[in-house]
Structure 1
């Protein structure tokens, strides 16, 4: 497999500088040859700037990359490094990881331990405390822990909101009984519309309410002591 090194003529140099680094690493280019190889791939405005300022600093690949950052990037290496040291999480952990990765690519020179420290210190406080307690030794481990604790915090908030809603909801009433009065007075049995008159031999008298209820419960004739049946012929009627 053969890797081709693209030329650079202007614009943001970050991507081109990283591809050059990958090219040097793949072919194991010695340090003393890196400058010559990179300079041969400069064209147009970038080649003009290199020709103009090449005598200002010692010839090295590092100095060339710094010159290109100074001339074509919005910020130089020093400004990116300062920004990386102050970076803080604003949104989600994933968004913070993207921002941190983009910034760290523009601020080379930091060791892996320094990058790990920058990343942890920029996390939200409740996530940072939890991640620090686990003492991660790699940036990858710190990222995974940060996402884990962010997810746990989100689940905890959801559970708390659900518990609060249930605790503050009044008792549910059965729609069939919710309109019943809480205190009911003694119920009165309605008296018959036409009071029944019991006819005994030689006298007429009214049945009392208790007698009426008793005879009605036993299906007994209101006028005699016999059980009431269809076509009943009351002997005292």
Structure 2
């Protein structure tokens, strides 16, 4: 026994059973994929595939196969002897007629799925439906199904492969997630001084402005250098926009200079 056959002999790779559940078309397609993988690995001869698969059918699937074997004999048609023909008959019977259209619709919408989950579903849909499209068409379908914000960002880079489009979308999704978690980068909001720091110029008390003071206004009498008298009230300060009352010298001293005319 050569080396290749020696390690294969130690492996148990069996074809999974299929019960004909028509409510799970994805399960049936995945089963077909598994069958093809086993055929390739085991190098099953073409004339053995149909009978081998018959041993793995259960329930409704087994009943369907028995009926299919008898029908050709009754109507005088050739029997199903190739795996290709049997697989085609099984797809017609176990996959809903509108399944492919429904899958195309799913392919075009990310909905609430993450970018990673969405690309996984896209690959599964391509494999399950044997979609024969160019890379450009697949990329367009994938990008068109992304959420609008991510789609617009990915389109800026014009990716040419599905993998490139996925990597771009994943990067933008992570960036958006970090931005939401970090919140806005606004600085601290300045809050003005509280009312307790206010001081009334009229009564000298804190907690209100002099314009809000309920006590009687105080008037002060002043005289200028020429001897003119006038009064000043505290609210005049507010009207002029001063922060503090004006300060006047209490003991202003003036030096008088005597000037004599020329004596001729």
TM bucket normalised to smaller: 0.5 to 0.7
Distance 1:50 1:157, change over 3 A: same
Q: How many residues align?
A: 180
Report deviation, 1:82: 1.9
Partner of 1:61: 83
Whether 1:38 aligns to 2:38 is no
Structure 1 counterpart of 2:37, from 22, 27, 37:
22
Report deviation, 1:45: 2.7
Q: Secondary structure at the match of 2:197?
A: coil
Partner of 2:102: 83
Distance 1:35 1:122, change over 3 A: farther
Structure 2 counterpart of 1:144, from 151, 156, 167:
167
TM-score by length of 1: 0.56
Q: Deviations along 1:47-88, whole A, 9 cap, x unmatched?
A: 331233365897543443343344344x34xx3332232220
TM-score by length of 2: 0.51
Partner of 2:257: none
Q: Deviations along 1:150-207, whole A, 9 cap, x unmatched?
A: 1223334556x524xx47x852246xx65222774697xxxxxxxxxxxxxxxxxxxx
What's the C-alpha RMSD, in Å, of the aligned pairs? 3.9
Report deviation, 1:34: 4.0
Contact (CA 8 Å) 1:85, 1:118: kept in 2 or not? Answer: no
How far apart are the structure 1 equivalents of 2:201 and 2:40?
A: 92
Whether 1:100 aligns to 2:122 is yes
Please list every run of at least 4 consecutive aligned residues from structure 1 whose deviation after the TM superposition is greater than 6 angstroms: none
Report deviation, 1:17: 1.5
Whether 1:180 aligns to 2:197 is yes
Partner of 2:20: 10
Q: Secondary structure at the match of 1:67?
A: helix
Q: Secondary structure at the match of 1:46?
A: helix
How far apart are the structure 2 equivalents of 1:93 and 1:143?
A: 7
Deviates more, 1:108-117 or 1:42-51: 108-117
Query: Gaps (5+ residues) in structure 2?
Result: 1-10, 205-249, 251-264
Distance 1:7 1:132, change over 3 A: same
